[in-house]
Structure 1
């Protein structure tokens, strides 16, 4: 994962680069593999690990409290039915352990809106996946680290696939693009703060209709870029 940036750079003996691209999406190969347990569209074990982490989706679903489950569904999935989903999971696992994607789908489906059931399932599965892989925590750590490895004039490009990631990237770049933060009434700058990056994407870049037609999974992609200037 991109959380291994420092480790990989050290292994390769590289101290600086002219460009870094983070593609934050899950690979199609992983999504389409039932044994990885990423999708509710295929029956398989509740895993969702991208690496060799000990924590997997089955552990989360069967051991987290109702309050903890509702929190990750709300925070990482932005799902309105977060509380209902957490409640029904806790009830169902008392009768039988939830150990497959199909079983989890069967448990969740009755409490989700019929007209948007698949969308809700996608958000709930996404939330569990983010928790399993600590995706937002890794992104929060690697963004400032990436600037340390970029040479002056180097470019940082990030492609995200859901609003949580995109907001984090947007805030990070905006913060690093700030200059003086002294109060307006100060006649001269005393903070000495200089912008570290120049944001190259004033507005987030979205895929074209043609790209979406050729690759439907690109629909949710959002790209932001910046150039290191200090």
Structure 2
């Protein structure tokens, strides 16, 4: 079995456990299993009648599966949360945890194409059998489509110029590798901000390849149906696009617009926000794990 700690150091582990308010005989879901760090800690706090269901679409995560009768690993995207729980005979759960970050293992595996540090094929698929990868996005999307994803998902200021440069570059030769992508856009990268710019480009491609924001919205909507009254929804995000969706959903039960009201003017919202402000990692953790720097943890409780 792979070393789970090397696979991914769990971010804000204690804060996540406190937020879940784990009951020994409860049923919990970890929708982003990865290296299993959060899952192992949940299991350590469950009694013999407790149960944990974990989700991960990355086949590499199976190597970290936990040998415990209370544990079940579902190899599926978390946007299929409700249906998979039903298939397991589970109608409702006491808590749901989501850590939306890309795992250290995925960043540190050059062949996955997630990292700007290595020259590798531009893949970026979380699900290795999915049809769409970063190469296909870069080589087949129209200039307008590329402009959209770089502006929306990467929040890149010169997104239009970037899209045009890629379309021009691929006329001569397809963009297949990290090095070829960097070469195609080298003239557009602000001096002294190369790392940040490349990270924004890669973020935009990764979100598009994996349809991450759509999946996140589908997942969040399903938590209303699967959480018991007073059940906890605990979500950790790593960029503003995700955090905005999580924050709005917890506060309003929807992703945009105002909170809905009933005939008498009472607000209709499924959750009570527990964390008024996003929780951030402490100084000690930041020293040990730089990837915790951008993490924002939000907590809500299912209303009765």
Where does structure 1 lack aligned partners over 5 or more consecutive residues?
Answer: 183-188
Whether contact under 8 Å (2:251, 2:269) holds in the other structure is no
Is 2:234 the partner of 1:157? yes
Q: Distance in 2 between matches of 1:18 and 1:24?
A: 20
More helix by share: 1
1:180–1:6 distance in 2 versus 1, CA, 3 Å: closer
**What is aligned with 2:281?**
207
1:179–1:101 distance in 2 versus 1, CA, 3 Å: closer
Report Cα offsets for 1:86-142 as digits up to 9, x if no partner.
111111111111011111112122211012111011001100000000000011111
**TM-score, reference length from structure 2:** 0.70
Q: Distance in 2 between matches of 1:34 and 1:105?
A: 16
Q: Distance in 1 between matches of 2:91 and 2:278?
A: 29
Residue among 156, 161, 164 paired with 1:87: 164
CA drift of 1:221 comes to: 0.5
Whether contact under 8 Å (1:2, 1:22) holds in the other structure is no
**What is aligned with 1:57?**
134
**What is aligned with 1:74?**
151
1:62–1:195 distance in 2 versus 1, CA, 3 Å: closer
Q: Distance in 2 between matches of 1:119 and 1:180?
A: 39
Q: Distance in 1 between matches of 2:175 and 2:259?
A: 51
Which is worse superposed, 155-164 or 108-117?
Answer: 108-117
Is 2:294 the partner of 1:217? no
Where does structure 2 lack aligned partners over 5 or more consecutive residues?
Answer: 1-76
**What is aligned with 1:22?**
98
Q: Distance in 2 between matches of 1:7 and 1:40?
A: 36
Is 2:191 the partner of 1:114? yes
Q: Distance in 2 between matches of 1:229 and 1:89?
A: 48
- Count of paired positions: 224
Is 2:79 the partner of 1:12? no
CA drift of 1:179 comes to: 7.6
Q: Aligned with 2:192: secondary structure?
A: helix
**TM-score, reference length from structure 1:** 0.92
